[in-house]
Amino acid sequence: MNETVDMAKWVYDLKYGEIPDQALESAKMHLLDFIGGIIYCSTNEHYNKDYFSKVLDDFTGQDSTVIFQKRKTNQSAAAMLNSLLGHGFELDDYHAGSFFHASAVIVPILFAVSEKYDLNPKDVLLGMVAGAETGIRIGLSLTVKHNLRGFHPTGTIGPFAGVVALSKAKRLPLGTLINALGIAGSMSSAIKEFYREGNSEKRFHPSRAGSGAMTAIAMAESGVTGPSTVLEGNFGFLHAFTDNGEPDKINEGLGKHWFISDLSIKPYACCGGLHSAIYGLLEYIDELFKRADKIKSITIETCRKVALQNGKFSNDSVMGAQYSLPFTTALTILKDITNPSVFNEKVLNDENVCALAKKVTVKEAVDITSNHTRIKVIFNDNSSIQTEVTKPKGYQGNMMTLDDVKEKFKNLTDGVFSENERELIIKDILNFESLNSIKDFMKKLY
């Protein structure tokens, strides 16, 4: 019944040498993927909006805008936090808990603070791992009911993970960490109604969570106190944010099982719930593309969460398209879904894409769980293609390899860095703990 304090003690005592090599390598792969994503966004006109820079300024604070600040383009909240592309940590079985894009919160604030104070790169990597591990377990304790009630876990769990990450990187006292976690509970906020209309406010949820974490740390360092039972208490986070939360999962397996090694990296620039269907369609893409004008109907069976959240056709906005399984299905068949720039304003009104998307029906199937999809495509002559996907690319059983992530990084940064510059950045990230200075590393990204 002391989940918050026990978790804090584990975090405080955690040493770099206690983290398995596999967990560290996974953290570096996610870091490489995330940096590639924000570099891509920083040079992409669609994401590079002045008002997002204003949002970042208001909600995250000037200290966190130092990331890539000196690059030739203005940085947006979408670019900085990469919530649109979704690069970063994601627990890929939603039935085990609530989805949590940890890197969208953790990496920007860690890099901002570490660059300003020139923190030890090894401590920064330690903070990344600790923040992800504890944040995931909080997501597990919330169960999927948290998500289905309408909360966006990146915004609700993010402040806790951010506090843990910063406390390790800054080597804060245990008491400060506990108070900061208590304060972070009052920083938790975000709902998912944005998915219905594809509203862009979704993109500031990670920055708002990062802002909450930084504020909680600053307040705790200044002597403000927070409840030491913030997670498990009768009026705590679990009680307020879910039904029948499972607090035992917060500390279950801490230091024994490392969830960061199990986490997905997205190969496609859209909601993770759509990736299973995309992967299944790509298996038959040559035939589907060739016969696209002869498709009579497409039926996709999926889990309840995806059916409810992603089952409707939407082309009102890029965000809406990225959450729409019918639209993304058509985009997969007719365009190059592996290229993130395929999601753009022009494609929203593409007559062929929209016409094909309206032939897609999404159904909930009680025997299907996350990342499990059944697809049936029927053509005008009543011939059909049927497939079932249980292990889509990027997820457990079919994880992206280091070579996959390197290739993705090169594609995302094409035209921004020379081949030699990219190789030096990749080398630095894969040897992150051995870097002499975060500041020196950041100069390579400017």
Average pLDDT over residues 399-406: 95
pLDDT of residue 184: 97
Per-residue model confidence as pLDDT tens digits over 49-63: 443 444 444 444 433
Average pLDDT over residues 80-100: 43
Residue-averaged pLDDT of the chain: 86
Contact predicate 246/134, CB 8 Å: no
Contact predicate 131/177, CB 8 Å: no
Average pLDDT over residues 128-141: 95
Residue 412 has pLDDT above 60, yes or no: yes
Question: Which amino acid makes up residue 418?
Answer: S
Question: Rounded CA gap, 306 and 179, in Å?
Answer: 37
Question: Rounded CA gap, 281 and 142, in Å?
Answer: 33
Residue 270 CA neighbour count, 13 Å, CB half:
33
pLDDT of residue 43: 75
In this prediction the pTM is 0.85
Comparing 90-104, 119-133, 235-249, 332-346, the range with the smallest average pLDDT is 90-104
Average pLDDT over residues 394-400: 90
Question: Rounded CA gap, 64 and 279, in Å?
Answer: 36
CB atoms inside a 10 Å sphere around CB 20: 12
Residue 248 has pLDDT above 70, yes or no: yes
Average pLDDT over residues 252-272: 91
Share of the chain above pLDDT 70, in %: 87
Question: Rounded CA gap, 264 and 92, in Å?
Answer: 6
pLDDT band for position 95 (50/70/90)? very low
More confident residue, 218 or 99: 218
pLDDT of residue 45: 55
Residue 163 has pLDDT above 90, yes or no: yes
Which residues, 6+ apart, have CB-to-CB distance to 18 below 8 Å?
Answer: 255
User: CA torsion sign, 45 to 48 to 51 to 52?
Assistant: positive
Residue 138 has pLDDT above 90, yes or no: yes
More confident residue, 139 or 144: 139
Going along the chain from its start, the domains and CATH numbers come out as 3-267+397-443 (1.10.4100.10), 272-389 (3.30.1330.120)
pLDDT of residue 97: 58
pLDDT of residue 49: 46
Burial of 273 (0-12, 13-18, 19+ CB in 10 A): buried
Residue 291 has pLDDT above 60, yes or no: yes
Residue 124 has pLDDT above 70, yes or no: yes
Contact predicate 445/421, CB 8 Å: no
Residue 293 has pLDDT above 90, yes or no: yes
Question: Rounded CA gap, 439 and 116, in Å?
Answer: 8
pLDDT band for position 93 (50/70/90)? very low
More confident residue, 75 or 15: 15
pLDDT of residue 305: 86
Question: Rounded CA gap, 140 and 100, in Å?
Answer: 10
Contact predicate 29/102, CB 8 Å: no
Question: Rounded CA gap, 52 and 441, in Å?
Answer: 25
From residue 145, give the alpha-carbon distance in Å to each of 102, 236, 243, 349. Answer: 19, 16, 6, 35
Phi/psi at 299 (5° precision): -115, 130
Alpha helix segments (H runs only) across 68-152: 77-81, 103-117, 121-142, 144-148
Per-residue model confidence as pLDDT tens digits over 188-239: 998 888 877 777 777 778 888 999 999 999 999 999 999 999 999 999 999 9
Q: Are strands 295-302 and 373-379 parallel, antiparallel or unpaired?
A: antiparallel
pLDDT of residue 99: 57
pLDDT of residue 47: 52
Average pLDDT over residues 168-182: 97
Token digits for 77? 């909240």
Kindly write down the DSSP assignment for every residue of 321-378, as one continuous string. HHH-HHHHHHHHHHS-TTSGGGSSTGGGG-HHHHHHHTTEEEEE-TT--TT-EEEEEE
